A and B are shown apart, each in its own frame.
Chain A
Amino acid sequence: MSSDELQIIETKKISNIKNCIIGMPDTGLTGMIGVTHLISSLSLDEIGYIDSNLLPPVIVVHKGIPKQPIRIFGNKDLAAITSETPLNMTSMYPLTKSIVNWVKSKGVELLISTSGIAVQNRMEIKNPLVYGVTTFDNNKKLLDKAEIKLLEEGFMVGPHALILKECIAKKVNNLTLLAQSHPQYPDPGAAAATVNSINKLLDLNVDVNKLLEQAEEIRLKTRELMQRTAKSLKGMEKVQEQELPVMYG
């Protein structure tokens, strides 16, 4: 799957994939932490990566092996896409378009985007709530089943908002999950809430205890990524998510 600006390279070909989950660096790194935990808990193999000259000139090295920062993991039942570097504005539009096209080409039945929604009183919340927004009305029953609250009014800003936009245009079944998160700090607790919701949505049984046990380590080791992400979000008018919607009547 490729365009002039961006290529999705499949290192392992899978013709059809049932479900797909995306978690990019965003508020509280919630989506990224949750998806990374799913990938490791389900031992999902790396099946591809995204390459583009619009992305920052970054390569990550793991155990001596150079890797692209945006990678795809999975099997025929579930694919998971995440990034180890924040997305910039230049790459975000072609990237989200290419991802949605790829998802469509794989016949994905449900694309779940995960992210955090900043709440100022996060410290007082023991169990973060997860809100959902969906492109199809009949998913609302699915939200009820998974005890996910429907986001009735508000703004969404960031990669998940563009994915949702693209899914509306391409008629792709998308469910965006937003967990109450720390606005400025990595939030493994919010990520765990998202994973619990995904468990209920997809009938998975991913244990979040390990994620919660590693919370301090995750917070410590994702400081730089959180700082870079916060900087990139500033340029996206992310604060709009905190604004009250314009309502009359």
Chain B
Amino acid sequence: MRKRRLIDIIQSSIENLEEEIDQAIEEVFEWRPMWDVQKGTLEPLANVSEENNKIIVSFDLPYVTKENIELNVSENSLEVEAELNRCIKYEGWGTVQRECDFKSFHKFVKLPEKIVPEKAKASFKDGLLTVELQKKEAKKRLKID
């Protein structure tokens, strides 16, 4: 009985350790900054969702007007470039001890499925860009016998 408890404790410790290692690996390999000082771009928040035969991609684009958004769509990707209507400065920020200017948003989104670029629709309201994409392989309605 006592032996078993010890085994449980060891197992639980190993599980915790594995979880921490997974988190650390994820942090190291998946994390990347949401800005690029060299290009002067910020990455906007974006969300991809699927709805029947559509893929909906939205972007939060504060300080942007509709006229300054450039959207490029292909069968399997969507790219947004949007000029900010004011320059964003971060002075004395982090280890970048100088003025840091950002002039636009940039985001490349790899789509979960192929889409029909010609059928893409986009709308922009209150700084939120929504792109509706038609999936290439539409679902077929199945008749029940």
Residues in A lying within 8 Å of B, measured CB to CB: 123, 183-186, 215-217, 219-220, 223-224, 226-227
Contacts and interface: CB of A to CB of B under 8 A. Distances in A.
B45 interface: yes
Given A184-B47, A219-B60, A224 B125 contact: no
B88 interface: yes
A220 B63 contact: yes
A220 B88 contact: yes
Give the size range of B's interface with the partner: 10 to 19
Contacts of A216: 62-63, 127
Contacts of A123: 125-126, 128
B34 interface: yes
Given A184-B47, A185-B60, 15 more contacts: A123-B125, A123-B126, A123-B128, A183-B47, A184-B60, A186-B45, A216-B62, A216-B63, A217-B62, A219-B60, A219-B62, A220-B42, A220-B62, A227-B34, A227-B45
25 contacts: A123-B125, A123-B126, A184-B45, A184-B58, A184-B60, A185-B47, A185-B60, A186-B60, A215-B62, A216-B63, A216-B127, A219-B60, A219-B62, A219-B127, A220-B42, A220-B62, A220-B63, A220-B88, A223-B42, A223-B43, A223-B44, A223-B45, A223-B60, A224-B34, A226-B45
Interface of B: 34, 42-45, 47, 58, 60, 62-63, 88, 125-128
Main secondary structure of the interface of A (DSSP, over half): helix
Nearest to B43: A223
A183 B44 CA distance: 15
A44 B29 CA distance: 40
A219 B129 CA distance: 14
Contacts of B44: 223
Contacts of B128: 123, 185
